[in-house]
Structure formats: structure tokens, C-alpha cells
Amino acid sequence: MASSHGFENPPTLEPASGGGEVVDDFGGQKAYVTGSAGSKAAVVLIFDAFGFEAPNLRKIADKVASSGYFVVVPDFLHGDPYDPSNPNNPGMWMQEHNPQNAFEEAKPVIAAIKEKGVCSIGAAGYCWGAKVVVELAKVHEIQAAVLLHPSLLTVDDIKEVKCPISILGAEIDRSSPPELLKQFEQILSANSEIDHFVKIFPGVPHGWAVRYSDNDASAVTSAKEALQDMSHWFNKYLN
């Protein structure tokens, strides 16, 4: 998301979308929650610049929950997603929304999940959110990580990951081009203690996994495949 790719194809936000519910305080954050609160496995979904009211994101949360997970989508943007109509440029928005702050805010959210008796927690991040997930993966806060068209990541970030990680990237992506993802894969392959999966989806742009159009059959198919890959990773390491 350091490039303009992170802000293309903005969704129409729908505060009431999804089959779950919005709670005002989950670990100190407003959040969309879905799935069984009695589940022993949970997933934290961390969105891109457009926040937690994106309908496709909530559909994904509901689908993950249907596999038996308690899913939490915290509003780490505090009601201030990127607004394409705002004259403020993407650079200014990024300065005001540092993923490092969201990482710190995620810790109490994870603690609140554990208080419900959850034994294993995974996290998935899209674009901006992928940076937050990697920070959590560096410090043993989660048991499995999934990154989808990630942004803001460096080789050094990947070197510090301490849990199984799946990276699902786009062929057409200036934020994390295939060349960078292949570097990530080389680093992970050199560490036999951390299981990993790296996949580059052909012909899709940055943001494809969550900012697809329901009217584009090919885009929907690719997004569905990404969701299946993500679900497989969580089923492998959280159950």
C-alpha cells in the first residue's frame, strides 16, 4: 500500500452488512464479530485501508466462521478508513494510520479472545493489515498467519516470523511484486522450523482477494480460491 495500488477499486462501505454483529468494545476496540463464541479456535481478520465495514470482508469473516471459528474484525482505523473522495493524498492517510499502532491495539483484542477459553488463534491481513499480522507473528501472539496481497513488508520482517505463515500474492502488484514474494519464500525456505506457503495468483491485481466485483466471474473465482487457501492454512494449524 505504499503505492497507489493499495487504494484502487474502493468498496462501498455498508455498516450493517454481514451475518454477525458489531460490538462497541472487544478488547478495547469496536469490532465486527461472527461465529460461535464458544469455539476453541479463533481468527482475527485485519482489513486493508477501507476498514471493517467493507461488505466483501464481512462475507469472508462469515465464511471463515462457518468452518467453526470465532472471528473478530477489530476497527483499528477507529472509524477513519481511507476516503477516495477526500483531498488528502494516500501518503497523508498512511502517516496517520501506522500499522504499528494497530499491532499494539491488537494485543488486548487477542487477550480478550483468550479470556473466552480459545486455545488457538490465527490472524489474516489484507494489504495494510498484513503488516499488523506479521508484527503479531514475530512475538508469538498467534499460532498461524495468512497474508493476502501484503503491503509495507520487508525481507527483515519475514526473517522474524515465528509461526506458520501463508503468503497469497498477486501477479500484478507494485506493493509486493512477485519478485519480492519470491525473496520472502527463499527466506522462509531457509528456516526449517517455520512452515510456510507462498502462492502468486496469475493475472490478478493487488486487492483482488477482498476488493473484487461480484459481477466479475473470474475475479470471484480467484477470490474464492484465496479464501480456500486461507481456510486450509487455519484448519491445518488451529485445529
- The DSSP secondary-structure symbol of 4 reads G
C-alpha R_g of the chain: 16
- Beta carbons within 8 Å of 160's beta carbon, 6+ residues apart: 138
Distance CA 66, CA 58 (A): 12
Cell numbers 471493517: residue = 52
Q: What is the pLDDT along the chain (239 residues), one digit of tens a residue?
A: 444 455 666 767 678 889 999 999 999 999 999 999 999 999 999 999 999 999 999 999 999 999 999 999 999 999 999 888 875 677 788 889 999 999 999 999 999 999 999 999 999 999 999 999 999 999 999 999 999 999 999 999 999 999 999 999 999 999 999 999 999 999 999 999 999 999 999 999 999 999 988 888 988 999 999 999 999 999 999 98
User: In the chain, how many domains are there?
Assistant: 1
Can you name the residues that pair with 197 across neighbouring β-strands?
Answer: 166
Instruction: Check residue 54 and give its pLDDT.
Output: 93
Cell numbers 481478520: residue = 45
Can you name the residues that pair with 31 across neighbouring β-strands?
Answer: 23, 74
pTM: 0.94
- The DSSP secondary-structure symbol of 7 reads G
Instruction: Check residue 106 and give its pLDDT.
Output: 98
**Cα angle at 135 between 133 and 141, to 5 degrees?**
80
Residues 198-209 pLDDT 10s: 999 999 999 999
The candidate with the shortest Cα–Cα distance to 118, out of 38, 62, 21, is 38
Distances (CA, A) of 112 to 37, 73, 123, 163: 11, 13, 15, 21
Q: What's the CATH number where 31 sits?
A: 3.40.50.1820
- The DSSP secondary-structure symbol of 66 reads T
SS3 assignment, position 210: coil
* Type of residue numbered 221: T
Instruction: Check residue 150 and give its pLDDT.
Output: 97
Give the residue numbers spanning the domain of 186.
5-238
Exposure of 174 by Cβ count < 10 A (0-12 exposed, 13-18 middle, 19+ buried)?
middle
Return the half-sphere exposure (C-beta side, CA atoms, 13 A cut-off) of residue 75. 21
